[in-house]
Amino acid sequence: MSTHYSTNAPDGLPGAELVLTNGRIYTVDPERPWVEAVAIRRGRFMAIGNHDEVAAHIESYTKVHDLNGAFAMPGLYDMHTHPDLALGPKYSDYLDVGLETPTAQEVKDAVLNYAAAHPGDGWIFGKHFVHYNLRKVGIEPGREWLDSFIPDRPVAIMDRMWGSCMANSKALELAGVDKNTQDPNNGYIVRDNITGEPNGILVDGAYALIMAAMPPPPTEALMRAYEEGARFQSSRGVVATKYVHVCEQRLEALRRVDLAGRLPLRVEAAISWQDDIFPVRRRWELLAGERHYYRSARINANAVKFHFDGTSEPRTSFLLSPWPNEKDWRGALNLTPEHIADMVTDMDRKRIRVIAHCTGDGSSDIFLDAVAECRRRNGPGMRHQCAHTTLLDEANLARFAELDVIAEFSPVSWYPSNFTYGARSTLGDRMPEIFNVRGVMDAGGVTVMGTDWPVSSIDPWIGFETLATRQNPFGEMEGQLGQPITMEETIRMLTINGAWAMGIEGSSGSISVGKTADMIVLDQNILDGDPHGRVHKTEVEFTMIEGEVVHDPNGWMAGSDFESTLKTPVPNFRPVEL
């Protein structure tokens, strides 16, 4: 929450409200990269410089804090993440049988107890059952067994290994899964080969068909997910983020968190173009203008997100040439190139940013073509965003700058790890090419990072360190994957470039006079020494956004007007260190 000052309101007291001094402040402003002190008034930097320059603004009412030589910099920008997907289901009061290896009877009892405690005809969804334990007592897992004791409301239960889901007939009916349903590329519906009727077991990607039919998590669960996610991000120094994929329920949850004063960062929310993650019932109303009802100083929904190709693990990323070790399989496109071109052009006219999931070099190629066509038809317009950008064709590196397209990279597998070499092994010889941040930067393009939680950790410092090292930060594996960038470039990528990606680089993203007072103070000078194994452990001692202190674990502002109103403990979503 920030205070609104009318253009016509009297100017008020002329001095600084807050001065932070005696710091090593890296401004990301090329005019003056290092300063010692900053003065803040009405949420903006009114002066920066050495102590004497800033001290001129100190008045009797100014809160002055001595940073004792601490390192400070502008707040971070996490340009693609999903707290709702990571936490929403957990907070939704779904069925949890609560046993590691439940018997068939225990699963049945848990379903019936849940049904009794949640009367009505609503979904029963949760975890988990064990195929072996059902078959041990002669039960074939599937719709018939579930129907035998709960036929009248939809039920879907994941198996213990998360490789499949068991649904009853009602759930299949509501999800529209029948003998005519096509299998997705990354899984299948188990069926009778002759009649084609599903038996109620959906393997791998096929269970998304069930998920898509389920109602969204309750608003309270979404609110808690966003509030905790944002609070954690803010405690790790993030001041602006993109929550990529929202629907009307998610926007409402965000709005309520913001109204309660518990949204400590700026959010650009991207409305889902497709129903493949969850249904968006008011998509066209939102895109037509209803999205503005959710707008505030912290929230905008002037973006749309779509899925264009798949992912590298099941080799559904769309490539320009066949996948390694394949004769002609190039992956899959979910939407036609013509669809993308018309959609980008249309959204661009509405000043809506298009965020395109592009993991293969073929999908980013088509997306860049679509933006080129959009520019030809519309002239200069919105900066659109190429998300993940796992593989890029060399010839496309320069087009990000030419077309004003944001190159967003997700850190999940840009350094060596068992996960990287497991999940991305399908890339074969092309592994060293992945996440070519260096290539886009050298060609003049603007790069940003998106943590893409829950695919990778929401803690930005892991990606931060590994952008500059491309080495395993935890020492689990030797070697380097891809080309690192410098620490200075990394800082720009996570600050001013993020502001550029939100269209606010003129008012935020660096510590410059007149810009919003967004600043973080760290426990170490990240520019001093080898970042490897060190920067990911950075502790954030202070986070301020637009002059509002939102993270102050040491109580520097206690008792002053700047004391943080956020008193709830910071949740811990850091990965477990091995």
Partner 1 sequence: MRVPVTIVAGFLGAGKTTLINQLLQGDHGLNITVLVNDFGAVNIDAELIAKRQRDVMELSNGCVCCSIQGDLVVQLEELFRSDEPPEYLLIEASGVSQPGRIAAVFGYPQLREHARLDAVVTLVDAANTAELARNSADLVQSQIEAADIIVLTKTDLAGQSEVSKLRKDWLLPDQPVFEAIDGRVPAEVLLDVGRGDETRDLSHTANPGLSFASASWTSKTPVPYAQFKTVLKSLPLSVYRAKGVLYCADFPIERIAFQKVGARVAFQRLGAWPDAPRTQIVGIGDGSAFDAEQFSTMLDAGLLSAPSLPA
**3-class SS at 326?**
coil
Sign of CA dihedral 186, 191, 197, 201: negative
Q: Specify the DSSP class assigned to residue 176.
A: T
Q: Which is nearer to partner 1, 332 or 437 (CB)?
A: 332
**3-class SS at 189?**
strand
Distance between CA atoms of residues 374 and 365, nearest Å? 14
Give the type of residue at 347. Answer: M
Per CB under 8 A, the segment of 173-181, 296-304, 318-326, 357-365 that binds partner 1 is 318-326
Q: Which is nearer to partner 1, 159 or 228 (CB)?
A: 159
Q: What are phi and psi of 19, to 5 degrees?
A: -125, 130
Per CB under 8 A, the segment of 72-80, 324-332, 519-527, 542-550 that binds partner 1 is 324-332
Distance between CA atoms of residues 462 and 364, nearest Å? 25
Binding residue for partner 1, selected from 52, 96, 192, 442, defined by CB under 8 A? 192
Cβ 391 to partner 1, closest distance in Å? 17
Site for partner 1 in 397-426 (CB under 8 A): 425-426
Q: Quick one: tokens of 329?
A: 């399989």
Q: Which is nearer to partner 1, 73 or 201 (CB)?
A: 201
Dihedral over alpha carbons 459, 457, 387, 234 (to 10 degrees): -30
| Segment holding 520, helix H or strand E | strand 519-522
Q: What angle, 0 to 180 degrees and rounded to 10, lies between the N-to-C axes of helices 460-469 and 487-494? A: 140
Q: What Rg do the C-alpha atoms of the chain give, in angstroms?
A: 25
Binding residue for partner 1, selected from 183, 276, 373, 404, defined by CB under 8 A? 183
Cβ 134 to partner 1, closest distance in Å? 9
Per CB under 8 A, the segment of 181-189, 345-353, 472-480, 515-523 that binds partner 1 is 181-189
Binding residue for partner 1, selected from 30, 163, 475, 575, defined by CB under 8 A? 163
Q: What is the DSSP string of 312-324?
A: TTTT-S--SSPPT
Check binding of 432 to partner 1 (CB under 8 A). no
Site for partner 1 in 76-115 (CB under 8 A): 101
**CB 238, CB 269: distance < 8 Å:** no
Q: Which is nearer to partner 1, 136 or 295 (CB)?
A: 136
Binding residue for partner 1, selected from 185, 274, 296, 483, defined by CB under 8 A? 185
Q: In the stretch 202-221, what mask flags binding to partner 1 with x, by CB under 8 A?
A: -xx-----------------
Q: Which is nearer to partner 1, 218 or 324 (CB)?
A: 324
Give the type of residue at 94. Answer: Y
How many residues touch partner 1 under the rule CB under 8 A: the total is 31
Per CB under 8 A, the segment of 41-49, 52-60, 156-164, 459-467 that binds partner 1 is 156-164
Per CB under 8 A, the segment of 6-14, 112-120, 125-133, 544-552 that binds partner 1 is 125-133
Give the type of residue at 241. Answer: T
Q: Which of 199, 202, 130, 186 is nearest to 159 (CA)?
A: 130
Q: Which is nearer to partner 1, 314 or 503 (CB)?
A: 314
**3-class SS at 127?**
strand
Q: In the stretch 274-313, what mask flags binding to partner 1 with x, by CB under 8 A?
A: ----------------------------------------
Binding residue for partner 1, selected from 1, 55, 190, 570, defined by CB under 8 A? 190
Chain centre to alpha carbon of residue 228: 14
Q: Which is nearer to partner 1, 19 or 104 (CB)?
A: 104
Q: Which is nearer to partner 1, 43 or 331 (CB)?
A: 331
Q: Which is nearer to partner 1, 202 or 366 (CB)?
A: 202
Chain centre to alpha carbon of residue 413: 15
Q: What are phi and psi of 354, to 5 degrees?
A: -100, 125
Distance between CA atoms of residues 481 and 83, nearest Å? 28
Binding residue for partner 1, selected from 14, 120, 289, 327, defined by CB under 8 A? 327
**CB 394, CB 367: distance < 8 Å:** no
Q: Which residues bind partner 1 (CB under 8 A)?
A: 101, 130-132, 135-138, 161, 163-164, 183, 185-188, 190, 192-195, 203-204, 315, 324-327, 329, 425-426
